[in-house]
Amino acid sequence: MATESVAAREQTSGTGLRREVGFVGLFMASEGSIIGSGWLFAALGAAILAGSASIISWVLAGIAVIILALVHAELGAMYPVAGGTARFPHYAFGSVAGISFGFFSWLQAATVAPIEVLAVEGYASYWWPALIHASGPNKGLITPLGYGVAVVLMAIFTVINFLGVRWLAHTNSGITWWKIAIPTFAIIVLFTQFHGSNFTAAGGFMPEGMKGVFAAISSGGIVFAYLGFEQADQLAGEARNPQRNIPRAIIGAVLLGVVIYCLLEIVFIGALPGSQLLHGFAKIPDQNIVNGPFAGLAGIVGLGWLAFLLRVDAVISPGGTGLIYTTSTSRVSYGLARNRYYPQIFARTDRRGVPWFGLIFAFIVGLVAFLPFPSWYKLVGLVTAASVLMYAGAPLAMGAFRRQVPDANRPYRMPGADVLAPIAFIIANLIIYWSGLETLWKLGIAMIVGYIIIGVAMAFDSKRPPLELKSAQWLPVYLIGMGIISWQGQFSGGAVQAPINTNHIPFGWDMLVVAAFALVIYYWARAVRLPREEMLALVERQAAPEMEEAPTAAG
């Protein structure tokens, strides 16, 4: 196979994708997605909810994401297919579970690009105020002009993607080097303004207690900031030597991201002038900090040149993330079409190997996403919940694969999988719970819409997969159960007070309930996984053609 031409491989496999992305491209895809608008906003959002203890939030979330990343590293190397996160549960549990987790994966990918566009406009409003409503009931939301600019930015992401994955990978790598350098430089410079006393100001180190720490993880933007490590999995169908490069790219990107984000929170809190903390992090008086935390901070401490540089980065950094998530959306929809959940037009590629219809559809959905959630913080909660529901499918799938196909080729094996896989599932469900009921009911509506759309599409597909209800019998109990626990629990959109919750489950006990419920679902799902023959047949029919190795090339 190593001497076969790319054209011949494509003709043999029928996938139309091209394996043109090496380790650097995969690493930069994951790292470039991790470092997006999150670093520009989440430090303040987390501090508002948890105070100085937001540092603990970043560390805890970092550990959680590292565990989830190890799961994805094993799965991505085991089955290097396009849109992998949308497909692993399908191979493990069949179509019913696959539809649910696949749709979560697509919803998350499709809405991140709009979030990044909103981040660009939030910072650009410093120079162009007409983009954002400055006062009134719509304060902080985009204006009609802002919506028009958003359309243009989404169109640019789409056009660049049409140039092909090799050109995209090189472009994204260049942008990501910038995205790593600027926050690193900001950390070094802001350390010169450090005030250690800030960490005990504004109500003490932990003004909202551990409840604030956990709320910051999900609703403060922390988990959203860490999202993106799975991009190497999404591009696995176009990766060279995926068995080696995917695990290295995912794990390396997460480790670097955790270090950068923890240091950013430390310097943000430490560099704030004491006058800004007289009434706590939630009532910082300087609106430049509120609207653009790091650039505003640099300005008020007399580093105007750094503020200018950060505002430039605020356009480049989120823009780069929006670009790669536009890519991801088209690959996830491609994968869902390969699963035969989406119409087969989503699996068609152009002469450059680009899933062209998925790109166009991602553009349209991105524009719709601005309408009900036209601000950065309003979209983050929904996407975080969708993302973690997507991530929850991976440890379930890995538990099933370890039991059902122990002899499968695993270039990377997650250490301690029997312990860490269920822990990863618990972690995912805790983050879902911390997202709050206000976020979950909106996600529930989106899920219902998704089921209807996919159901209609599959009804017209004569080759649609059978509905494996037995292997997904745990799924409705899981989804409804998490909703009930959230309703009876303590969190509502990350607010310390939960006005739409009953608060019947006391704080602390609520997380034990989530953990216990998650373990029941994990072992139940593992017990009713697809039979080995069906699992192997699915992989052979849908994954094997994409897993053929393409000619090796430098890079």
What is the CATH number for 261? 1.20.1740.10
Following CA atoms 180, 186, 189, 193 in sequence, which dihedral angle do they give, to the nearest 10 degrees?
-150
Residue bearing the bigger pLDDT, 47 or 542: 47
Do the domain assignments include residue 244? yes
Q: What pLDDT was estimated at residue 423?
A: 94
**What is the total count of domains within the chain?**
1
CA-CA distance, 205 to 208, in Å (whole number)? 9
192 DSSP 8-state letter = G
The answer, yes or no, to whether residue 186 has pLDDT greater than 50, is: yes
Q: Which of 165-169, 221-225, 308-312 has the lowest mean pLDDT?
A: 165-169
- Token pair of 300 as six digits: 């008020």
Q: What pLDDT was estimated at residue 546?
A: 63
Rounded average pLDDT over 424-433: 87
Do the domain assignments include residue 175? yes
Give residue 492's identity as a one-letter amino acid code.
Answer: S
Chain center to CA of 313:
21
Q: What is the mean pLDDT of the chain?
A: 81
The answer, yes or no, to whether residue 119 has pLDDT greater than 60, is: yes
Q: What pLDDT was estimated at residue 37?
A: 67
Residue bearing the bigger pLDDT, 355 or 243: 355
Rounded average pLDDT over 213-236: 78
Do the domain assignments include residue 227? yes
The answer, yes or no, to whether residue 383 has pLDDT greater than 70, is: no
Share of the chain above pLDDT 70, in %: 88
Q: What pLDDT was estimated at residue 235?
A: 73
pLDDT in tens, 475-515: 999 989 998 998 888 776 544 444 567 778 888 888 899 99
Do the domain assignments include residue 498? yes
Q: Which of 316, 309, 442, 467 has its CA nearest to residue 383? A: 442
Give residue 367's identity as a one-letter amino acid code.
Answer: L
Where in the sequence is the domain holding 138, given as residue range(s)? 20-542
Residue bearing the bigger pLDDT, 541 or 453: 453
Residue bearing the bigger pLDDT, 107 or 371: 107
Do the domain assignments include residue 455? yes
Do the domain assignments include residue 547? no
CA-CA distance, 55 to 35, in Å (whole number)? 17
Do the domain assignments include residue 317? yes
pLDDT in tens, 521-543: 999 999 999 998 888 887 777 66
Q: What pLDDT was estimated at residue 549?
A: 45
Confidence of residue 98 (pLDDT cuts 50, 70, 90): confident
pLDDT in tens, 455-469: 888 888 888 888 888
Rounded average pLDDT over 387-395: 81
Rounded average pLDDT over 248-259: 88
Confidence of residue 8 (pLDDT cuts 50, 70, 90): very low
Do the domain assignments include residue 11? no
CA 322-327-331 angle, 5° bins: 140
